[in-house]
Amino acid sequence: MPDPVIVDIPHKLGKEGARARLAKGVGKIGSMIPGGGAVQERWEGDTLHFTVTAMGQSVASRLDLHETRVHAEVDLPPMLALFANKIREKLQKEAPKLLE
């Protein structure tokens, strides 16, 4: 399995503020993955686990909340690993908007 796409997103919201913003915006994450679509989500403590269905593939991801950053990891299936750099760039650009 390819290495996950890892992005750290800084914020000044604290954990609870970041959780509230992510809860409202997690549905938008599907649009950040090429061919993205449906998003399934669940919280475990301070970690949001979600799966995006993209191009017939399931992309499992998680966001770990910290006081001053969100640590994102996206596990790409081999077929989508070719898009790892584009996905990383898109996440770095678009993910901070989820915390606005």
| 54 exposure class (CB count in 10 Å sphere: 0-12, 13-18, 19+) | buried
Rounded distance between C-alpha atoms, residue 5 and residue 72, angstroms: 8
pLDDT tens series, the chain, 100 aa: 678 999 999 999 999 999 999 888 877 766 666 666 678 889 999 999 988 886 677 889 899 999 999 999 999 888 888 889 988 998 899 888 888 8
Residue 47: other Cβ atoms inside 10 A: 13
pTM above 0.85, yes or no: no
Q: How many residues does the chain have?
A: 100
How confident is the model at residue 36, as a pLDDT? 62
Closest CA to 94 of 39, 14, 29: 29
Rounded distance between C-alpha atoms, residue 54 and residue 31, angstroms: 10
